Chains A and B, each alone.
Chain A
């Protein structure tokens, strides 16, 4: 299994390296191959919203930067892990600039799912799973709830078969974090079997 791990930490002072290490350690136990990307070190321009990735160069963004590399890894991955400092309930800016650039995976044809929601068809045949790991500020519990809803919504819109949210607080021990990740990866293993 190939895993794309995107780290959306805001800056060096608020590093999420501790979590990255624990996630990679747990993924290693399952023999997963991990591509680990620290987004703030990458040049990723903002999505221009011009839909040229749908109508001029289908499936590919016209901006030639690391955003297209993200697409490349997304298409290869069986599992995407988003490690994100919860920011007003959503993604940090560093994460968001990458997420906005995966819109080329969609085809501009509306479809309706069984709950009546519309979504865009996807180019990718076997969509990956998604684990959103939110690092929570303990003073903003509401934000953690919103983050869970966001991961679910992304999961539906991206037509993913598997999407889960994990929330950690900075005070959580390494042991707790490792254990929770291991439990989820076990569940994921069962799902893919």
Chain B
């Protein structure tokens, strides 16, 4: 690692903001990366990028960054609409210079396989905007973390912390996201248990909201 301090910008792409799994994952990197080598910044992607002040703020911080980490949830197989809006805006306004990009995608499905296409989209965005793609991380069972700091989430996030440590180490050494990081990027919970827990959390919420009887209804039936 050379001694030059690099500007790291973390973009959180979840509309749930600091209560999101995206925030938990990204914040872990900010908390644990060596501050002697990286000056860190974090921006929650605005829900609606219509305000000129928000646009200026976003592009100023993106232009300043040497490394951008995007942490996002999967919505219908791709990053949420707000992230796509930011991608389009950055493409039209970015100051081209050497810059690096990493994505961390999480989804509510038991496995992370569905995140793959969204990573390809992030990679394509990076390439189209002149950034070097350092790789992506993918996490399944993301619904369990829900904004909790990883360090306070118990043993189930141990491997995720190990994966992120590998990424931090790679960044500090100017390297790409190692394959081992993706192999470790798993919540320590079997698929069947996750399915059981999430299915029942949703059922309990409908009972609490008095909507259990309409749980499978389709208000738009033909």
Contact = CB atoms under 8 A, between A and B. Distances in A.
B195 A110 contact: yes
B173 interface: no
B78 A150 contact: yes
Given A110-B195, A153-B117, A59 B217 contact: yes
B44 interface: no
Nearest to A86: B124
Interface stretch (B35-43, B105-113, B162-170, B182-190): B105-113
Contact of B206 (A48, A55, A146): A55
Interface string B66-107: 000000010111101110110110000000000000000000
A57 B215 CA distance: 8
A10 B214 contact: no
B2 interface: no
B202 A51 contact: yes
A124 B218 contact: yes
B114 interface: yes
Contacts, number: 147
A91 B118 CA distance: 11
B14 to A, nearest CB: 7
A57 B125 CA distance: 36
B128 A140 contact: yes
B19 to A, nearest CB: 10
A193 B207 CA distance: 42
A172 B218 CA distance: 41
A116 to B, nearest CB: 9
A58 B215 contact: yes
Interface stretch (A18-26, A98-106, A181-189): A98-106
Interface bracket on B: 35 or more
Contacts of B211: 55-58
Given A49-B14, A51-B202, A59-B220, A88 B128 contact: yes
Contacts of A99: 76, 81
B120 interface: yes
A52 B44 CA distance: 22
Q: Is the interface of A mostly helix, strand, loop or mixed?
A: mixed
A59 B195 contact: no
B85 A58 contact: no
Contacts of B122: 88
B152 interface: no
Contacts of B81: 46-47, 93, 96-97, 99-100
Given A117-B113, A143-B124, 10 more contacts: A45-B48, A46-B47, A49-B14, A58-B206, A58-B216, A93-B85, A108-B199, A109-B199, A117-B114, A123-B217
Interface of A: 10, 45-51, 54-60, 71-72, 74-76, 87-93, 96-97, 99-100, 102-103, 105, 107-110, 117-118, 121, 123-124, 126, 140, 142-143, 146, 149-150, 153-154, 157
Top 3 nearest A-B pairs (CB, nearest first) are: A75-B220, A123-B218, A55-B205
25 contacts: A45-B48, A46-B47, A46-B80, A47-B75, A47-B80, A47-B81, A49-B16, A49-B73, A51-B205, A59-B214, A75-B218, A87-B87, A88-B124, A90-B78, A90-B117, A91-B84, A92-B84, A93-B81, A97-B81, A107-B216, A108-B199, A110-B109, A123-B218, A126-B222, A157-B114
